Amino acid sequence: MCGIVGYTGTQQAAPVLLDGLARLEYRGYDSAGLAVRNGSDLAEVVKSTGKLRGLIEKTDGGRSLAGTCGIGHTRWATHGEPSQTNAHPHVSGNCSGSGSGLVESEVTGVHNGIIENYLELKEKLSRHGYQFYSDTDTEVVVKLIDYYYKKYKIGPVDAINRTLVRIRGTYALALMFRDYPGEIYAARKDAPMIIGIDGSESYLASDVPAILNYTRTVYYIGNLQIAQLRPGEVHFFDLNGDEIQLESTQITWDAKSAEKNGFEHFMIKEIYEQPAAVRDTLTSLVTEGRITLEAAGLSDEVLRGISSVRIAACGSAWHVGMAAQYILEDLAEIPVRVELASEYRYRKVLHVDGELLVVISQSGETADSLAALRKAKDLGIRTLAIVNVVGSTIAREADHVLYTHAGPEIAVATTKAFSAQLAAIYCFAVQAAYVRGLIDSDQYDGYLRELASIPDKIERILEEKERIQWFAAKYANARDIFFIGRGLDYAISLEGSLKLKEISYVHSEAYAAGELKHGTISLIEDNLLVIGVLTQKDLFEKTISNMAECKARGAFLMALTSYGNYSVEDSANFTVYVPKTDPHFMASLAVVPLQLFGYYSGVARGLDVDKPRNLAKSVTVE
């Protein structure tokens, strides 16, 4: 949520900042702003509500703002309504208006996160003569830094440190000080922030895509650490003000993967990138015909010692966890409980010896998932992270990490990251089953052959997208759509329903098919679309019966099943087939038509499928 960019170097800053903000639009925002320094005492601040193009027009693409040092922000409203006044950057001066234009201010800053005690701090600052022009917690933080900076006549690092020990909440801060032209200061706690260096240029951003075109050498600043950026150099400090050393990381993503490359939207491009994402993730975990988890510290001894697994995640990652529950319990005979991370973090957790907590997150920065991880570690529970971003907070703090290799995912609705997470789960489950003596070598090899075939089978599904596109257009104006399935098919239904509601704004729900008669069937009416997922042979007839009950009450039925199950056409009005694979791995295939259905439904309704309303790619605040 929200996006921060910063630049100091030798070229004009504003165009670089605008380019970075454009690459962070997927994070969700309602306003945007820039602040640029040109070596003078004044910072030029420009803000705009709505889409980023408003800010681009105001600044002539950044060309009207002179200066080689600046910060930018896209805001997702938390404290204070979306408005130009509440938009970032904010300044420490007692401005009567919005803080826009040439501003004489000691401190100028932008902020992601939520400051929980900002009202208490605001009252304190008011007693010391500070006036406030906005309703934001960010303005309070900027003025608190200004207060300590002036009161104690100390440098930026010490002023920021004094502030960090007073504020409660989550934050990523980027700041400029009038007395330090050409420098940017950054600090973070539980909100993502990266620093990039290339030659005489220095960058900061909330996420890698913002600076991927400029540098691949990045630093991940830690919690309660401060960074000082100068052109081509960066220094890091702890809460004592002592300089510390951080190791840089090289980003290996292809810069073109953050571009549309001829596709109409990022979402459809990323749907088409799923074969590569799955193939690359499998390749990273399978070497010479064997699954290798030792690099993650998951030795055979560790896998044999797992008594139970608890999975904590949010959104689509939680659906991966739901699928993992069926797979792990069936293959590896390990008891699994799947938790919403937002619930796990706030309740009393009873755990047993040998328990493993698995946290699944694309960004590795999801606030609730990170809190769940930390809670487990405080309880002495072994933790495993499945993440897509090397060096992310969850990756750094977990005991073990399995990286997915989906590359940057720009569309808000996840597709390829979901599929890559499933691939990682498959490898974990098969290896656990093997080392625990539950499958033999022939079965093990058979599972690996099936896994290797998944990318090609996804490509076959994508070749038949036109049928789904036609059907999505037919039901684009539906008011309600229901998804039903049993077992693993229920987990698939959950993800299909979420994709539809995220992108098309059509109300949809997923139900365990056996629960229809316990209330849900009362909602069935003429021509209501019910999508049945039927990929599990042992549950096929049961779900068919549930679908027939819906049809008898006027529902229109779409069935999603594997080739060979042609009897489904006797019951369904419209049938989509996917290639056969081992039942444990069917989610990787069955989810693709549902992703396409959600995508084409949104397109048919004329919606912005990459940036759906009210949603953000990475939820880094509660």
User: Residue 256 has what pLDDT?
Assistant: 65
- Asked if 338 and 439 count as a contact pair (C-beta separation under 8 A), the reply is no
Residues 353 and 471 in one domain: no
Dist CA 220 CA 230 (whole Å) = 17
User: Residue 253 has what pLDDT?
Assistant: 72
Among the listed residues 386, 397, 452, 444, the one whose alpha carbon sits nearest the alpha carbon of residue 420: 386
Residues 222 and 236 in one domain: yes
User: Residue 25 has what pLDDT?
Assistant: 80
When divided into structural domains, the chain yields a total of 3
Residues 115 and 234 in one domain: yes
Residues 236 and 297 in one domain: no
Catalytic amino acids? 2, 617
pLDDT digits (tens, 9 = 90+) for 310-358: 999 999 999 999 999 999 999 999 999 999 999 999 999 898 999 999 9
pLDDT digits (tens, 9 = 90+) for 112-145: 988 999 999 999 999 999 999 999 999 999 999 9
- CATH code where residue 476 lies: 3.40.50.10490
Residues 440 and 542 in one domain: no
Sheet holding 529-534, edge to edge: 507-512, 480-485, 529-534, 556-562, 574-578
Please give the single-letter amino acid code of residue 23.
R
| Last residue in a domain, options 228, 251, 274 | 251
Residues 179 and 58 in one domain: yes
Residues 158 and 238 in one domain: yes
User: Residue 170 has what pLDDT?
Assistant: 87
User: Residue 122 has what pLDDT?
Assistant: 94
| Last residue in a domain, options 461, 490, 512 | 461
Residue corresponding to tokens 């602040």: 35
Dist CA 27 CA 15 (whole Å) = 20
Dist CA 406 CA 279 (whole Å) = 9
Dist CA 229 CA 431 (whole Å) = 45
- CATH code where residue 142 lies: 3.60.20.10
Between the two ends of the chain, the Cα-to-Cα distance in Å is 10
Note down the domain range covering 610. 464-622
Enter the DSSP assignment of 190: B
Mode of pairing for the β-strands spanning 184-189 and 169-177? antiparallel
Give the start-end residues of each E strand in 9-91: 31-37, 43-49, 69-75, 90-91
Dist CA 589 CA 580 (whole Å) = 9
User: Residue 527 has what pLDDT?
Assistant: 87
User: Residue 24 has what pLDDT?
Assistant: 85
- Asked if 489 and 520 count as a contact pair (C-beta separation under 8 A), the reply is no
Mean pLDDT of the chain: 92
Residues 325 and 438 in one domain: yes
CA 349-354-358 angle, 5° bins: 65
Q: Which residues of the chain have pLDDT under 70?
A: 1, 95-100, 254-258, 616-622
Residues 543 and 430 in one domain: no
Residues 544 and 443 in one domain: no
Residues 218 and 275 in one domain: no
Residues 413 and 487 in one domain: no
| Last residue in a domain, options 201, 225, 251 | 251
